């Protein structure tokens, strides 16, 4: 018998059972639901039933076949720079080179490492994702109700996500300082199983707005504003414009990336220059408007300084003025 707490309230019973009964085939989970072996408050429910706080769930005895596969090593615990935390949310500054979750050849990611570092946490889930080589603001929910609310904000385009991207190429003079891209995106797999995305007429609707922050010969610093959240959206839209992101190993200029990564290169950069620097949203419990900002990583800041020829002096760019409560700081 399991009493439902905040960590499971609002979750569908089938998804709850899949989490509780790890290793049990999905077909078996649905069979015990249909047969009435699973009871909620002593009554039968269907797979779509959403659990409420205080519900009492009966999970019948289930035999699980022993696996001959070797057990995978547990994820090592890790801590990340925290931009904000309360009882509902955790917002961190994710470094480049760290996946947000395990899979596709990655044994573990941020979510597995944080769960290992916080074994007492009853609930911890990613609200959104960042590519492995993208750094910056990453948000996690500490309660299911918060996760549901934040996902609703994303679906209704009430969450403002901004990135900095440094690109190679010429920003067209007739674009002004703002360029909207609405090219549809299609996801596909390479023969080796690696995921890729391309612009394709029958792809998913996608919308990114690019704002020119600064420019130099052959390079430009842009702010990207996401209106949809497709896989690799910013990277593919910029490559489509002929402005690949510096250091992008999937859609960028590979010869340029190799030259920039050489020792003592000036300008030099050994990572992809894409950074989620700002996230603005409504607190899922209080309704307060919050804004989180992550400072530009040192290697990206140094690259901008090299382009500007400032050799260590800070390049100053105007930051948006808001009346929201801001956590973290942004510097270029």
Is residue 318 predicted with pLDDT exceeding 70?
Answer: no
Instruction: Compute and round to an integer the Cα radius of gyration of the chain.
Output: 23
pLDDT band at 332 (very low <50, low <70, confident <90, very high): very low
Arithmetic mean of pLDDT, 20-34:
86
pLDDT (0 to 100) of residue 67:
57
pLDDT band at 9 (very low <50, low <70, confident <90, very high): confident
pLDDT (0 to 100) of residue 330:
43
As a dihedral over the C-alpha atoms of residue 34, residue 37, residue 43, residue 45, rounded to 10 degrees, the angle is -30
Over pLDDT 90: what percentage of the chain? 64
Mean model confidence pLDDT for the chain: 88
pLDDT band at 194 (very low <50, low <70, confident <90, very high): confident
139 alpha-carbon distance from chain centroid: 8
**325-328/289-293 β-pairing:** parallel
Is residue 45 predicted with pLDDT exceeding 70?
Answer: yes
pLDDT (0 to 100) of residue 68:
55
Catalytic annotation, residues? 131
Check whether domain 159-328 has CATH 1.10.1200.10, yes or no: no
pLDDT (0 to 100) of residue 314:
40
pLDDT (0 to 100) of residue 25:
85
Please give the model's pTM, rounded to 2 decimal places.
Answer: 0.78
Arithmetic mean of pLDDT, 96-101:
91
Arithmetic mean of pLDDT, 207-227:
96
Order of strands, sheet of 39-40, starting from the edge strand that comes earlier in the sequence: 2-3, 56-58, 39-40
Name which residue leads in pLDDT, 105 or 41. 41
Query: Which of 57-66, 297-306, 323-332 ranks highest by mean pLDDT?
Result: 297-306
pLDDT band at 73 (very low <50, low <70, confident <90, very high): low
pLDDT (0 to 100) of residue 70:
53
pLDDT (0 to 100) of residue 311:
40
Which residues make up the CATH 3.10.290.10 domain(s) of the chain?
2-58
pLDDT, one tens digit per residue, over 144-159 is 899 999 999 999 999 9
pLDDT (0 to 100) of residue 71:
53
Alpha-carbon span 154 to 319, nearest angstrom: 24
pLDDT (0 to 100) of residue 317:
45
Is residue 62 predicted with pLDDT exceeding 70?
Answer: yes
Name which residue leads in pLDDT, 82 or 316. 82
Which residues make up the CATH 3.30.2350.10 domain(s) of the chain?
159-328
Alpha-carbon span 143 to 276, nearest angstrom: 24
Over pLDDT 70: what percentage of the chain? 89
pLDDT band at 319 (very low <50, low <70, confident <90, very high): very low
* CATH no. for 2-58: 3.10.290.10
pLDDT (0 to 100) of residue 103:
67
Arithmetic mean of pLDDT, 251-264:
95
The three-state DSSP-derived secondary structure of the chain is CEECCCCCCCCEHHHHHHHHCCCCCHHHHHHHHHCCCCEECCECCCCCCECCCCCEEECCCCCCCCCCCCCCCCCCCCCCEEEEECCCEEEEEECCCCCCCCECCECCCHHHHHHHHCCCCCCCEECCCCCCCCEEEEEEECCHHHHHHHHHHHHCCCCEEEEEEEEECCCCHHHCCEEEECCCEEEEECCCCCEEEEECCCCECCCEEEEEEEEECCEEEEEEEECCCCCCHHHHHHHHCCCCECCCCCCCCHHHHHHHCCCCCCCCCCCCCEEEEEEEEECCCCCCEEEEECCCCHHHHHHHHHHHCCCCCCCCCCCCCCCCEEEECCCC
């Amino acid at each position: 018998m399991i009493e439902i707490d905040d960590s499971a309230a609002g979750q569908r019973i089938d998804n709850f059972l899949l989490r509780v009964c790890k290793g049990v085939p999905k077909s078996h989970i649905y069979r015990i639901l249909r047969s009435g072996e699973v009871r909620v408050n002593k009554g039968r429910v269907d797979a779509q039933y959403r659990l409420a706080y205080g519900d009492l769930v009966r999970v019948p005895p289930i035999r699980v076949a022993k696996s001959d596969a070797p057990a995978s090593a547990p994820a090592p615990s890790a801590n990340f720079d925290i931009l904000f935390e309360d009882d509902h949310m955790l917002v961190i500054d994710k470094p480049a080179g760290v996946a947000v979750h395990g899979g596709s050849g990655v044994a573990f990611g941020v979510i597995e490492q944080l769960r290992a570092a916080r074994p007492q946490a009853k609930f911890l889930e990613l609200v959104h994702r960042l590519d492995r080589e993208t750094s910056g603001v990453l948000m996690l929910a500490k309660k299911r109700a918060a996760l549901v609310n934040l996902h609703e904000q994303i679906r209704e385009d009430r969450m403002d996500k901004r990135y900095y991207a440094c690109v190679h190429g010429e920003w067209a003079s007739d674009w002004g300082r703002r360029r909207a891209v609405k090219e549809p995106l299609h996801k596909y797999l390479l023969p080796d199983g690696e995921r890729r995305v391309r612009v394709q007429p029958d792809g998913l609707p996608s919308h990114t707005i690019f704002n020119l922050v600064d420019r130099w010969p052959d390079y430009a610093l842009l702010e990207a504003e996401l209106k949809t959240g497709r896989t690799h959206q910013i990277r593919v839209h910029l490559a489509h414009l002929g402005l690949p992101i510096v250091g992008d190993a999937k859609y960028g200029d590979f010869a340029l990336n190799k030259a920039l990564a050489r020792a003592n290169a000036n300008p030099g950069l050994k990572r992809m220059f894409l950074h989620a620097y700002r996230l603005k949203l409504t607190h899922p419990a209080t309704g307060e408007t919050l804004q989180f900002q992550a400072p530009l990583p040192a290697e990206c800041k140094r690259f901008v300084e090299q382009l500007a020829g400032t050799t260590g002096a800070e390049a100053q760019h105007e930051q948006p003025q808001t009346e929201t409560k801001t956590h973290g700081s942004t510097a270029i």
